[in-house]
Amino acid sequence: MVAKVIAWRDSRSNTPRGADIGVTVLRALLEFGRLRGKVAINVADGIPKLYRNGARAEIIWLEDDMARFREACDELGAEHIADGMRLAALTGLRRADLVSLKWSEVFESFIKKKAAKISRGKRRLATIPRVPALDDLLDELRQRFRQPGVDTVLVNSRGLPWSGDGFGTSFNRIRDHAKILHVDPETGKATAKHVHDLRGTFCTALIKAGVSDEETADIMGWSREQVSGIRKTYVDQSAVIVAIGERIRQAAVNQPVNLLPDDFD
């Protein structure tokens, strides 16, 4: 029966997330039956997922990615999409929360936003600290043209609130134009970076600012393990490389090496 479940899952591999959801539902149904003596074992338990991009916490947008995205926005006259990219990088908000964020949820030293996504049966209340770069961006966004009665922080070129799909489609168009990709260091496979991956950029900024892994996990709504992965990949590793470079530079100053041949004129 396990093999049959695997075959059923694999028959839907063209939509891997849908296939995984199907297995999840089947597993819950069989567990209901097992606890009531209807089946002896839950054959859907322990079936691995097909979808591999579900855990993307260690993919982030780098400074170069964001600079190229803004250049593409300037080239295509899409300033309002650049606004969303910058706000995502400075708040870590998911797309649905990004486009629905209202000025009434922006306070003097923090942003407080009830998440659109339901997690464990309830909506999480995100409290995001305001950093100087976010303050500057919010000052810019207050100057954008908006239609009467529009209270969202982000607006499109017509001064209206973005829909999630509308912003996502426009965002992806700019991203593809700028060719912003993530290359898997193990497989070399290149995949497009998502707007969701800007959450990792915000996470990195929190870590570099000295926020602990536990506090960062609370702000992001992630596990400490996810935050630790970000730290190891983008913060600690960079610090080690900088330290190595500094030691090499100091060694060269203290013991200069002549790299030119003696007869070089």
DSSP 194-237: PGGGHHHHHHHHHHHTT--HHHHHHHHT--HHHHHHHIIIIIIH
In a domain, 230, yes or no: no
Domain holding 11, by residue range, is 1-51
Q: 0.75 exceeded by the pTM?
A: no
Q: Do 37 and 157 reside in the same domain of the chain?
A: no
CB atoms within 10 A of CB 226: 20
Answer for the pair 201, 89: CB distance below 8 angstroms, yes or no.
yes
Residues 6+ apart with CB under 8 A from 112: 105, 125, 126, 127, 128
* Two structure tokens written together for 67: 């600079």
Cα dihedral across residues 125, 130, 134, 137: positive or negative: positive
* Same-domain pairing of 150 and 183: yes
CATH number at residue 174: 1.10.443.10
Residues in the chain predicted with pLDDT less than 50, given as ranges, are: 53-54, 240, 257, 259-260, 264
Does residue 89 share a domain with residue 3?
no
Establish if 188 belongs to a structural domain. Answer: yes
248 in a structural domain: no
Residue 2 lies in a domain: yes
Q: Does residue 256 sit within a domain?
A: no
pLDDT digits (tens, 9 = 90+) for 63-75: 999 999 999 999 9
Cβ count within 10 A of residue 8: 15
State the average pLDDT for the chain: 85
End of a domain among 206, 224, 242?
224
Task: Summarize pLDDT for 207-252 with one digit per residue, the tens.
Answer: 888 888 888 888 877 677 777 878 877 776 555 455 556 666 666 6
* Whether residue 74 sits in one domain with residue 29: no
Residue 171 lies in a domain: yes
46 and 69 housed in the same domain: no
Classify residue 38: in a domain, yes or no: yes
Give residues with Cβ within 8 angstroms of 110, minimum separation 6.
Answer: 127, 128, 129, 130
88: tokens are 């995502």
Which pLDDT belongs to residue 59? 83
Residue 233 falls inside a structural domain? no
> Looking at the structure, do residues 88 and 188 belong to the same domain, yes or no?
yes
Residue 127 and residue 159 in one domain: yes
145 and 37 together in one domain: no
Number of domains in the chain: 2
Say yes or no: 21 and 94 in one domain. Answer: no
Tokens of 243: 């330290």
Shared-domain flag, residues 43 and 67: no
Q: Do both 33 and 104 map to the same domain?
A: no
Phi, psi of 3 (to 5 degrees): -60, -35
- Three-state SS string over 127-177 comes to EEECCHHHHHHHHHHHCCCCCCCCCECCCCCCCCCCCHHHHHHHHHHHHHH
First-residue to last-residue Cα distance in the chain: 80
Q: Tell me the DSSP string of 27-51.
A: HHHHHHHHHTTS-SS-TTTTPPPS-
Are both 40 and 112 inside the same structural domain?
A: no
Per-residue pLDDT of 42-61, as tens digits, reads 999 988 887 654 455 568 89
